[in-house]
């Protein structure tokens, strides 16, 4: 008697579980089919297709062999603008239930989906770590991955075919500093930089320009003067490779344009001081520290060594016999000299993907310096920003 009384309740519980499972599975399948159909009808580059027919074809193909879904009704709304396409779809279907006598023969389910794509231009900056910790193997993989990304971007670039889409990419290799002396470079960005009208370097005025070194004539020493001091026997000066220091706050993380009227917005040329010990190529050895490119000796007093490094005059008129500075091509991981660990230059935004891949291929790891991520990010910001120093 108890079983007879409980049987309808047990039957109802089993039926509810089975039918709930069927409803959930049917809802998922209908949603997946609608998603696929809406996406198929939303590809912005499809100009000659009947989007509504594409929608229905994909929906039908994805619902084929779904016996639990009956009386499927679906509609799509398409909004096509000058540079975008927006679609939204809705679908309903009846799901046949196992225990129709208890809950009715079927229940209706409803799903929605939407998609949006624009023809807006795309601009991408790759800020890539070129520090010594990358090593040869990791750098090889980085070059490979960056090249693959450029190839993908090139496939999306369609400046001549409707709908037009212009894709541009840029490269910012960073170590401790970032090298700006590449394509698009202007001397007007640089504090104390070359003045073509006077054929002289301008007087440095930025807050930290020359702050590490002792003043000359009561004024901060221009880092370009330090480069010019390092002459060889033929009187040729050492060239500045192109790396710059971080600007003082708040300009260190801003895209403020370099402006001579506000000297702290200008960029100070990077000059790595000589370290104590005998001249010679990095790394450290028993008679020298990293980046010891002038011949001198250790002292027992660290303060004396520090003061010696800051002495601007010691860089002046150093003979070739008393210095070691890497050749100007700087194509080795370990570098020695005032351009210590200065990577390859920024490549500004471009659609010349072959040129961009060439610059990626030049990247190597530069040993003996720090990983200044914030400078890599700050320069990426400036490359994307529409104002100076890069207006692309």
pLDDT in tens, 199-239: 999 999 999 999 999 998 889 999 999 998 887 665 667 89
Q: Is residue 57, in this structure, part of any structural domain at all? A: yes
Q: Is residue 228, in this structure, part of any structural domain at all? A: yes
Instruction: Give the chain's length.
Output: 392
pLDDT of residue 101: 46
Contacts of 183 (CB under 8 A, 6+ apart): 345, 346, 347, 348
Residue carrying structure tokens 């949006």: 116
- Among 65, 85, 118, the domain boundary falls at 118
Q: Are residues 165 and 82 located together in one domain of the fold?
A: no
Q: Is residue 137, in this structure, part of any structural domain at all? A: no
pLDDT of residue 3: 64
pLDDT of residue 59: 93
Q: What is the pLDDT of residues 327-355, one digit of tens each?
A: 766 667 888 999 999 999 999 999 999 99
pLDDT of residue 287: 80
Q: Are residues 91 and 179 located together in one domain of the fold?
A: no
Q: What is the pLDDT of residues 14-60, one digit of tens each?
A: 556 666 777 888 899 999 999 999 999 988 777 667 889 999 999 99
pLDDT of residue 314: 86
Q: Are residues 202 and 80 located together in one domain of the fold?
A: no
3-state secondary structure of 357: helix
Q: Are residues 149 and 229 located together in one domain of the fold?
A: yes
Q: Are residues 76 and 160 located together in one domain of the fold?
A: no
Residues of the chain with pLDDT under 50: 101
Phi and psi torsions of 6, nearest 5°: -85, -20
Q: Is residue 182, in this structure, part of any structural domain at all? A: yes
How far apart are the C-alpha atoms of 102 and 114, rounded to whole Å?
36
Q: Are residues 91 and 157 located together in one domain of the fold?
A: no
Q: Are residues 108 and 222 located together in one domain of the fold?
A: no
Distances (CA, A) of 285 to 71, 146, 268, 279, 292: 82, 36, 31, 11, 10
Q: Is residue 129, in this structure, part of any structural domain at all? A: no
Tokens (6 digits) for 176: 């401790």
- CB-based contact 126:152 (threshold 8 Å): no
- For the four alpha carbons of 10, 16, 17 and 22, in that order, the dihedral sign comes to positive
Q: Is residue 134, in this structure, part of any structural domain at all? A: no
Q: Is residue 287, in this structure, part of any structural domain at all? A: yes
- Among 118, 134, 169, the domain boundary falls at 118
pLDDT of residue 343: 94
- CB-based contact 129:174 (threshold 8 Å): yes
- For the four alpha carbons of 171, 172, 175 and 179, in that order, the dihedral sign comes to positive
What is the tally of structural domains in the chain? 2
How far apart are the C-alpha atoms of 213 and 211, rounded to whole Å?
6
Q: Are residues 88 and 199 located together in one domain of the fold?
A: no
Q: Is residue 92, in this structure, part of any structural domain at all? A: yes
- CB-based contact 266:206 (threshold 8 Å): yes
C-alpha R_g of the chain: 33
Residues spanned by the domain of 74: 2-118
How far apart are the C-alpha atoms of 166 and 160, rounded to whole Å?
9
Q: Are residues 87 and 152 located together in one domain of the fold?
A: no
CB atoms within 10 A of CB 58: 19
Tokens (6 digits) for 70: 């009956």
- Among 83, 118, 153, the domain boundary falls at 118
Q: Are residues 101 and 154 located together in one domain of the fold?
A: no
Q: Are residues 216 and 329 located together in one domain of the fold?
A: yes
Q: Are residues 108 and 200 located together in one domain of the fold?
A: no
């Amino acid at each position: 008697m108890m079983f007879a009384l409980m049987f309808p309740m047990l039957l109802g519980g089993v039926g509810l579980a089975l039918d709930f499972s069927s409803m959930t599975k049917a809802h998922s399948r209908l949603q997946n089919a609608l998603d696929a159909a809406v996406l198929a009808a939303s590809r912005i580059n499809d100009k000659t297709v009947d989007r509504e027919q594409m929608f229905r074809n994909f929906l039908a193909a994805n619902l084929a062999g779904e016996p639990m879904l009956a009386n499927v009704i679906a509609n799509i709304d398409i909004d096509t603008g000058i540079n975008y396409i927006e679609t939204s779809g809705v679908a309903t279907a009846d799901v046949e239930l196992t225990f129709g006598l208890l809950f009715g023969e079927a229940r209706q389910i409803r799903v929605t989906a939407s998609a949006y794509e624009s023809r807006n231009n795309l601009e991408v900056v790759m800020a890539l770590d070129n520090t010594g910790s990358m090593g040869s193997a990791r750098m090889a993989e980085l070059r490979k991955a960056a090249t693959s990304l450029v190839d993908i971007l090139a496939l999306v670039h369609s400046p001549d075919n409707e709908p037009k889409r212009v894709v541009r990419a840029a490269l910012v290799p960073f170590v401790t500093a970032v090298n700006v002396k590449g394509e698009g470079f202007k001397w007007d960005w640089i504090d104390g930089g070359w003045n073509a009208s006077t054929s002289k370097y301008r007087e440095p005025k930025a807050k930290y320009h020359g702050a590490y070194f002792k003043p000359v004539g009561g004024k901060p020493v221009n880092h370009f003067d330090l480069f010019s001091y390092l002459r060889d026997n033929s009187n040729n000066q050492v060239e500045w490779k192109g790396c710059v220091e971080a600007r003082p706050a708040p300009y260190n993380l801003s895209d403020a344009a370099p402006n001579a009227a506000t000297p702290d917005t200008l960029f100070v040329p990077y000059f790595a001081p000589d370290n104590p010990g005998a001249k010679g190529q990095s790394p450290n050895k028993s008679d020298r520290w990293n980046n010891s490119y002038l011949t001198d000796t250790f002292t027992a007093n660290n303060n004396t060594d520090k003061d010696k490094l800051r002495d601007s005059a010691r860089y002046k008129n150093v003979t070739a016999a008393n210095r070691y500075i890497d050749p100007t091509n700087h194509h080795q991981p370990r570098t020695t000299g005032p351009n210590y660990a200065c990577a390859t230059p920024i490549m500004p935004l471009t659609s010349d993907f072959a040129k961009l891949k060439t610059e990626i291929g030049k990247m190597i790891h530069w040993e003996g310096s720090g990983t200044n991520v914030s400078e890599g990010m700050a320069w990426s910001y400036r490359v994307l920003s529409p104002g100076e120093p890069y207006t692309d």
